[in-house]
Structure 1
Amino acid sequence: MKGLSRGLILTLVLTLIAAVGGTWIGARYIYAQQHQPSLHEFVHEELKLNTDQKTRLAALEQDFAVRRRAREAELRAANAELARAIQARHEYSPEVQAAVERFHDAMGELQKETILHVLAMRAILTPEQARQFDARISESLTEQAS
């Protein structure tokens, strides 16, 4: 009986270890397959920028961060305005419509700022880096449309 219990316990422990190990390995494999580096990671880690490019890119990123925060503040303000307008009348009133339009305008401006930033980053790249960058941008913009 002791031999059977010991064998059963050993089997259960090994099964548990195998299950946990298999789950961990599977999760890491799936994550690796699905995780595509962000554009920021791609530019910094895969394009092998020289020192001058890194300096110029840092300045671009710092400038964009300021502009992005301002646009995001506009989005938050537009959302707050929308919330107030909906709470005031609980209908699609002219105030709600104006708040929605303000939000869309702010979102459009953020998108324009982002596109201008992406184009400014491209301008500091070598022709070969720009080719890789263009392919990555194209892939990013079309992968969700599929």
Structure 2
Amino acid sequence: MSLARSIALTLILSIAVAAIGAWGGAEYALHRMRPQTPLHELVHQKLRLTADQQRRIEGLERQHEQRRQALQAEMRAANADLAHAIQAQHAYMPEVQAAVDRFHHAMGDLQKETILHVLAMRQVLTPEQAEQFDATVARSLTEEPR
């Protein structure tokens, strides 16, 4: 195998591994950003929400779900762009960087959206409920995954 061919193969494999790593990291981040079961359980089963609170939170959850799905679709589209750019260029060209940046932007927007959703739900709660909610949110954010 010629030196040029070896370098090209190494480059292609490196880019492929980097893309797989970026995808894996994103999947991990998405998993961590989704509302954790303890928070959902707390809100829907333990806080004893009034009918009005329940209705308002359900509306917030519907809005959040729509936005979450749109941002995840944007992340999938960015990954498709990344795959296309890698296939077309076989090098870390501006198109590859643009796809990576697009993905990171969507992932950041999803994280912000999730935080805003959690804060919006908190506004619906009484001070006593918010105290339990805050403790669960803090625990969810600082706990090591099992």
Q: Output the TM-score relative to the length of structure 2.
A: 0.71
Query: Which residue matches 1:48?
Result: 48
Query: Which residue matches 2:103?
Result: 103
Rg larger in structure:
1
Query: Which residue matches 1:116?
Result: 116
Return the alpha-carbon distance in structure 2 between the equivalents of residues 38 and 76 of structure 1. Answer: 28
SS in 2 for 1:75: helix
Q: Is 2:125 the partner of 1:125? A: yes
SS in 1 for 2:125: coil
Q: Deviations over 1:53-107 (max 9, x none)?
A: 0010111111111111111111111111011111112222211111000000000
Displacement after TM superposition at 1:42 (Å) = 2.1
Give the 3 Å change call, closer, same or farther, for CA 65–37 of structure 1 in structure 2.
closer
Give the gaps of 5 or more residues in structure 1.
1-35
Q: Is 2:70 the partner of 1:74? A: no
AA matched with 1:134: D
Return the alpha-carbon distance in structure 1 between the equivalents of residues 89 and 124 of structure 2. Answer: 51
5 Å-filtered alignment, 1:21-32, equals: none
Return the alpha-carbon distance in structure 1 between the equivalents of residues 144 and 93 of structure 2. Answer: 34
SS in 1 for 2:37: coil
Q: Output the TM-score relative to the length of structure 1.
A: 0.71
Displacement after TM superposition at 1:39 (Å) = 2.0
Asked if the contact 2:53/2:124 (under 8 Å) is kept, the reply is yes
Paired residues, number: 110
Which fold has the larger relative contact order, with Cα–Cα distance below 8 Å and residues 6 or more apart in sequence? 2
Asked if the contact 2:38/2:136 (under 8 Å) is kept, the reply is no
Q: What's the C-alpha RMSD, in Å, of the aligned pairs?
A: 1.5
Deviating above 4 A after TM superposition, structure 1's stretches of 4 or more consecutive aligned residues are none
Return the alpha-carbon distance in structure 2 between the equivalents of residues 68 and 37 of structure 1. Answer: 17
